[in-house]
Amino acid sequence: MKTLLRLFTACFFLLIAMNATSEPFRLGMTSATARGQYPLLEEWRLYLQQKLNHPVTFVFRRSYLECMDLMEQNKLDFAWISSPAYFENVRLSNLLVTPLYHGKPFDLSYLIVPASDHDTASLLNLKDKVFAFVDPDSSTGYIETNYQLLLNNKNPENFFKKTFFTFDDQKIVAAVAIGLADAGSISGFAWDTLAQSRPDITSQTRIVLQSAVHGLSPIVARATLDRHDTLAMQRVLLNMSKDAEGIKLLTRLNIDGFAPADWKLYHNDYLMMQRTGHL
Amino acid sequence: MKFFLNLSYRHKVPLWGGFLIIISVLAVSASFIINAYIQVEKDLAIDSQKLGHSLKLNLFSAILQDDIWRAFEIITEASQRESSGMVSVENILVVDRTQHVLVSTHPRQAPILADMHRLGPELDEIAKQIVQMNTEQQKTIYLADSKHYYSITNIANDNTSLGTLVIVHSKDVFLPLFARNAWNGLLVGTIILAILLPFNWYWGQRMALPLVQLAARMAQLGKKWPDNLDPDLYEYHDELGLLFESYKQMLNDMRNKKALEMQIVQSDRLAVIGQLAAGIAHEINNPLSGMLMAIDTLKHHTDLSPRTTKTIALIVRGLNQIKDTVATLLVEAKMNSRNLTPQDIEDVLTLISPMSGKKSLHLAWHCCLTEEVALPSTFVRQVLINLLMNAIKAASTQGEVACDIIIDNEQLQISVSNDGKMLAPEQISHMFEPFTTFSEGGHGLGLWVTYQIVSQMGGTIAAKKEANDHMNFTVKIPLGGRL
C-alpha cells in the first residue's frame, strides 16, 4: 500500500512537472482585438494561465490574415479574430466563444465622419472621399461598407477616391478626427469603448449611421488542437464572469463575459462576404 | 578730425587704442555671428536631411504597400519627436511622383491626393523644384520672404523612386538659435572689451603721461629752468625710456653749461674788479706814500701850533686808514713766505678758539695735514682765518662750525661750514666782490681778499648749501701754488 502511495505521488508530481514544462497555449490577437490594452491583456494572460494551470502566451499580429497564417502553420492554438477571418479559413479553426457586450453577442458598424462635417448623411454622400477601414477581414470595419455600396449599386473599388486600412478601430477614429480620412467604418463596440476612455477623440467624430447587428469577433480554437485543451480554454473563458477576478478583467475589457460561439450568429456576415465576393 | 588729431596724447592714445580694439572686437564678433548664422543654417539642413534619410526607408516600404496609415504614423512620430534641439518640424508631406499628396501630418491643410501645386505658392515652388531634382537625393530649399525652409528627400530605394518626402521647418526656430549664437558672440566680444579697454586705457595713460610731462618741460625751456621729470614716471629702457634719459642728460648739460657761464662771468667780473682795485690801490699808494712822508717831515718842525699838530695827527690817522684799506685791496706777495706746516693750522685753531668760545660753538675740527706742504703759510693761514672768522660770526649761538682740511688729488682742500643763516643765491653770486658784507661791522673785504689769494694761487673757492642746511665754503689750492 505504501509503495502504491509513493508511486501515485511520484506520478502526480511528474504530471505537474510535465504540465509545467509543456508547450504553452498560444492565443493570437490583432491590433483590432488588443485595442492597445497591453497591461490589461497581460493580467488576463496570467489569469488564464492560473485558471488553466497551463502556460499561456499571447501572440500579437497586425491583421486577422496574419493571425490565420500563423494558425495554418500550427503556430497558434487560439485566436481572437473577426468572423470573416474565420469564414475565410473555416477549416483551420472552430468557433469557441463570443464576447457579450451589454449582455448580447452583437456588434454594430458605425459610419463616422469628422465632427466638423455636418453634411454627410449617408454613405453615398462620401463619393470620391478618402475612406478609412479597419482590416480587410473586418465585418464592421470593411465588409459592411462594401456590402452597403453594392446594395446601392456602387462599385466599392472606385466609389472612394482613396481608401486605407489602419488595422485598429481606435486609429480609424483618430484618422477621421484629424481629417486624414473623410470618413471611416468602425466597430460600434470599439467606438463605445473608446468613448469611455478617450471621449476627447471620439467627440471629434460624428456617427452618421449604425448598421444592422453583427456577431462580436469570436475566439476560435485551432481545429487540430487537442479537444481537452480546447474545452479547458472554453470552460475558463465561460466561467470568467463567475469569479470576482474574472469579472474585474471583463469589466476592464468592457465586456460582460463570454458565451459559447454559435456560427448562426455570424450567418449575416457570411452572406455579406458571399455578396461582396470575399468568399 | 583735426580736433581729434590736435588732442593730447593723454587722450589720443587711449582713444585710438579703444577705437581700434572696438573695431577689432566688432569685426571678430561680426565674423563669429556670420559664422554662427552659416553654421546654424548648415546644422539645420544637416539635421533635417538626417531626419529625411531616416524616414526614407520606412516610408518606401509603407508607400510600396500603399499603407497610408503606417506612412502617416511614421511622419507623425517624426514630426513630434524631440530632436537634437536644433530642428523643429512644422509639417511633413509625402508626395507621389506627380506631386500629389500621399499623406501629410496636417491632412486638413494638405489632404490625401491633393495636388501640391495647388497648396499655396510656397508648396507650388517646392513642387517645381522637386520636378527639377534629377539625380539629387536630398536638397534644402530656402525660399525668399518665406517663414519656412524645406528639406526634400527622394523616397527611393536604389534607383526606384516612389515619391518625395517634404519636411517643412519653421524659421521661427532658426532665429532663436541664431540669436542665441549671436548673443554668445556678443557676450564674448563684450568680455574681451571689458578686459582690453581698461588695459588699453591704463597702457595709453602709461605711455602718454611721460610724453605729456616731457612736452610740458620742453615748453618751459627758454622761459625758465624746467623741473626734473618724475623719476618713477617711466622706468623702462625702451625707446621712450631712452628719450627721457636723453632729456635728463640734455637738461644736466644745459645746467652745467649755464653754471659754467655764470662762473666765467663771475670770474671775469672779479678779475676786472681785482685789476681795477689793484690799479686804484697802486695809484693811491704812490701819492699816499708822498703825503705820509710830507706830513712826517712836517711833524719834525717845532713851530707847529697845537691846533696844527692835532690836525696833522688827524690827517695821519686818516691817511693810515686809507693805507690799510688800500693794502688790504692790494693782495701782493710782500714777503717770501715759508711753506705751510701742520703747526700753522694748529696756530689758527688756537687763534680762533677764544672767538668760538664766546658763542659757545661746537667746533668740529678735522685736519689731515701731517707734514709740510708747498704752499705759502702766510696766505693759507689768512684764508683759513678769514673763513673761520666769517663762519663763527655767521653761526648761531651754541651752534656748530666745522672745519675739514685734507690733501686730495694734489690739492689742499679747506672746507668750512656753519649752521648760521643761509645766504640767498643772489648774495652768493656777489659775495666775493669787495665791500660786500653780510654782517654789521664788517668792511666786506674778507672774502674778497680770500678770493684774491686763492685765485692768485691757482685755486678755487665755492660756497654752497649743504644737505643739512649748513652754509659751506670750500677752498681748493693746488700744491705748489704761489702768488
Residue A207, domain CATH: 3.40.190.10
- Do A27 and A95 fall into the same domain? yes
Least trusted range by pLDDT, from A212-226, B124-138, B220-234, B303-317: B220-234
Task: Give the pLDDT mean for A183-193.
Answer: 94
> Beta strand A219-222 with A78-80: parallel, antiparallel or unpaired?
antiparallel
Q: Which amino acid is at B64?
A: L
User: Are B72 and A175 in contact (CB < 8 Å)?
Assistant: yes
- Do A238 and A197 fall into the same domain? no
CATH architecture of B339-478: 2-Layer Sandwich (3.30)
Asked if residue B370 has pLDDT above 60, the reply is: yes
- Do A191 and A139 fall into the same domain? yes
- Do A43 and A174 fall into the same domain? no
Q: Report ipTM (2 d.p.).
A: 0.85
Residue ending a domain, among A211, A228, A247, is: A211
| pTM recorded for the entire structure | 0.61
| CATH class (in words) of the domain with range B2-178 | alpha beta
Q: Which amino acid is at B313?
A: A
Number of domains in chain A: 2
Provide the 8-state DSSP code for A96.
Answer: E
Asked if residue B335 has pLDDT above 60, the reply is: no
- If phi over 0 gives left and psi between -120 and 50 gives alpha, with beta otherwise, what is residue B405? beta
Identify the top-confidence range among A37-46, B34-43, B297-306. A37-46
Identify the top-confidence range among A230-239, B42-51, B290-299. A230-239
Least trusted range by pLDDT, from A49-53, B91-95, B252-256: B252-256
Q: Which residues of A touch B92 (CB under 8 A)?
A: none
Q: Which residues of A touch B67 (CB under 8 A)?
A: 164-165
Q: In what order do the strands lie in the sheet with B471-478?
A: B362-367, B400-407, B411-418, B471-478, B460-465
What pLDDT was estimated at residue A18? 46
Tell me, yes or no, whether A275 lies in a domain. no
Q: Which residues of A touch B72 (CB under 8 A)?
A: 175, 180
What pLDDT was estimated at residue A171? 92
Tell me, yes or no, whether A176 lies in a domain. yes
> Beta strand B400-407 with B373-376: parallel, antiparallel or unpaired?
unpaired
| Cβ neighbours of residue B133 closer than 8 Å, sequence gap 6 or more | B139, B152, B154, B164
Tell me, yes or no, whether A241 lies in a domain. yes
Task: Give the pLDDT mean for A78-82.
Answer: 95
The Cβ-side half-sphere exposure at B54, using a 13 Å CA radius, reads: 13
b/e per residue, B24-56, with b = 16+ CB within 10 A?
ebeeebeebbeebbeebbeebbebbbebbeebb
Task: Give the pLDDT mean for B155-166.
Answer: 87
- Do A200 and A221 fall into the same domain? no
pLDDT digits 0-9 by tens, B10-32: 788 888 888 888 888 888 888 87
Task: Give the pLDDT mean for A121-147.
Answer: 94
- Do A30 and A93 fall into the same domain? yes
What pLDDT was estimated at residue B87? 63
Indicate the pLDDT class of residue B226, thresholds 50, 70 and 90. confident
For residue A166, give the nearest of B69, B108, B113 by CB distance. B69
Instruction: Give the residue numbers in A contacting B (CB under 8 Å), as ranges.
Output: 130, 132, 161-162, 164-167, 171, 175, 178-181
- What percent of chain B lies above the pLDDT cut of 90? 17
Q: Which residues of B touch A115 (CB under 8 A)?
A: none
- Do A82 and A116 fall into the same domain? no
Full domain range(s) for residue A94? 2-105+215-263
What pLDDT was estimated at residue B314? 87
Identify the top-confidence range among A89-103, B79-93, B342-356. A89-103
Least trusted range by pLDDT, from A20-24, A60-64, A83-87: A20-24
Least trusted range by pLDDT, from A163-172, B263-272, B360-369: B263-272
- Do A20 and A68 fall into the same domain? yes
- Do A82 and A118 fall into the same domain? no
Task: Give the pLDDT mean for A68-96.
Answer: 94
